[in-house]
Amino acid sequence: MPVLPASWRGSVISFMKKFKVGILGATGMVGQNYIKLLRNHPWFTVTHVAASANSAGVSYERSVAGRWQMPVPIPENVKSLIVADVANIKAAKKRCDFVFSAFELPDKNLIKKMEEKYAAAGIPVVSNASANRWTEDVPMLIPEINHRHLEIIPVQKINRGWKKGFIVTKPNCSLQSYITPIFAIIQAGYRIEKIFIATLQAVSGAGYPGVPSLDMIGNVVPFIAGEEDKTEEEPLKILGSIKKGKFANTNFLKISAHCNRVPVADGHLACVSFKFNGKKPKREEIIKIWQKFRALPQELELPFAPLRPIIYRREDNRPQPRKDRDAEKGMAVTIGRLRKCKIFDYKFAAISHNTVRGAAGGGILNAELLVKKGYIS
């Protein structure tokens, strides 16, 4: 076997086969990020792009003319791909091994039904959409936290009569700046019972064209539709368990959140206070827990897995979006300012890249784990 480049961690699969990948919602912001991040991926190559019927029938380059928002050119292998109607599942089946679902519709039930149609046709669906997050047999996956939730996939297939297809989704971007550090503490044997969070979320989280500039320049908007519910509720499923063929939420944790839109391009910052139930670690012990934290993606050396999932900065004024959102290629959580809280036990600030770890990059990591565990073949 040839010697692998050092940058291709865990990429032995690339010498056997590159998986053909489809992107549903390829013209939107999350879809564009997928195309940008996959351009040099050692395991995956984009062979199919799909969007609404209004965008279909022309080359990808033409379809996103004037709307390409990425800081790199459209990859050559994607430019000339003809955009398919997302409803044309037969075309996807001919061209790809699995799909990333990144399309949005006002009616979430339509997204849910479309993803189910793809899975029924034998196409695994790795979804960024919220439509199936609360489906009782669909994992809501953060690989460092709940990779064992993938064990429900065979049950999901039996429930639906699906042979090869299935659905796995990822959580909302708003919670990914704090849930991994919280999980690391819980995994170390400390029980956390209450969390209070204020998020400061970047404008890129609203897509393109997103929030009007006159609403954001020199301003903060203290409301993002649906974000507070997602921030408070989705961790309960992620930290929950599989019982009798469906997911059961954890019952030991309560979360309260304020979600704010701020005039920052990328990077969601969370200010977090938390309270223990029972024994409490010292401050330096918590920092060591974070610094030592590694999980299955790191053990498997998945290409998109950050070497350091959690980074702790000791400067008084960190983390900051511009300085810390790109840590570990945008896949790490950067934390700072861990200190005692006068109401709860401790508080800290943390940041993650909302369009990388919180969106397309997180979806890619999910797909890598699915491949490595044999669910996508």
Q: Which of 26, 32, 19 is nearest to 73 (CA)?
A: 32
Structure tokens at 267: 């990077």
193 and 254 share one domain:
yes
Q: How confident is the model at residue 17 (pLDDT cuts 50, 70, 90)?
A: confident
The gap from C-alpha 147 to its chain's centroid, in whole angstroms, comes to 13
pLDDT at 12 over 60: no
Whether residue 144 lies inside any domain: the answer is yes
Say what the pLDDT of residue 104 is.
Answer: 85
Cβ 113 vs Cβ 142: under 8 Å: no
Instruction: State the residue range of the domain holding 251.
Output: 174-353
Say what the pLDDT of residue 282 is.
Answer: 98
> How far is it, in rounded angstroms, from Cα 121 to Cα 90?
8
Say what the pLDDT of residue 16 is.
Answer: 58
pLDDT at 4 over 80: no
* Mean pLDDT taken over the chain: 94
State yes or no: cis peptide before 106, omega within 30 of 0: no
Dihedral angle sign, alpha carbons of residues 148, 358, 299, 288: negative
194 and 89 share one domain:
no
> How far is it, in rounded angstroms, from Cα 349 to Cα 369?
29
Gap between the terminal Cα atoms of the chain: 21
CA distances from 300 to 18, 297, 370 (A): 18, 5, 12
16 and 101 share one domain:
yes
Whether residue 190 lies inside any domain: the answer is yes
Q: Report, as an integer, the average pLDDT of 114-122.
A: 98
155 and 238 share one domain:
no
Total domain count for the chain? 2
168 and 178 share one domain:
no
The active-site residue, picked from 41, 48, 268, 353, is: 268
pLDDT at 11 over 50: no
Say what the pLDDT of residue 41 is.
Answer: 97
What percentage of the chain exceeds 90 in pLDDT? 92
| Residue linked to tokens 């690339």 | 14
Active site residue 173: yes
Q: Report, as an integer, the average pLDDT of 122-150.
A: 97
Q: How confident is the model at residue 184 (pLDDT cuts 50, 70, 90)?
A: very high
Structure tokens at 99: 């799909």
Active site residue 268: yes
182 and 149 share one domain:
no
Whether residue 328 lies inside any domain: the answer is yes
pLDDT in tens, 287-338: 999 999 999 999 999 999 999 999 999 999 999 999 999 999 999 999 999 9
126 and 216 share one domain:
no
Cite the beta strand spans of the chain per DSSP E.
19-24, 44-51, 84-85, 98-101, 125-127, 167-169, 192-201, 241-243, 246-248, 254-261, 268-276, 310-313, 333-340, 346-352
> How far is it, in rounded angstroms, from Cα 207 to Cα 134?
23
The active-site residue, picked from 48, 173, 259, 353, is: 173
186 and 289 share one domain:
yes
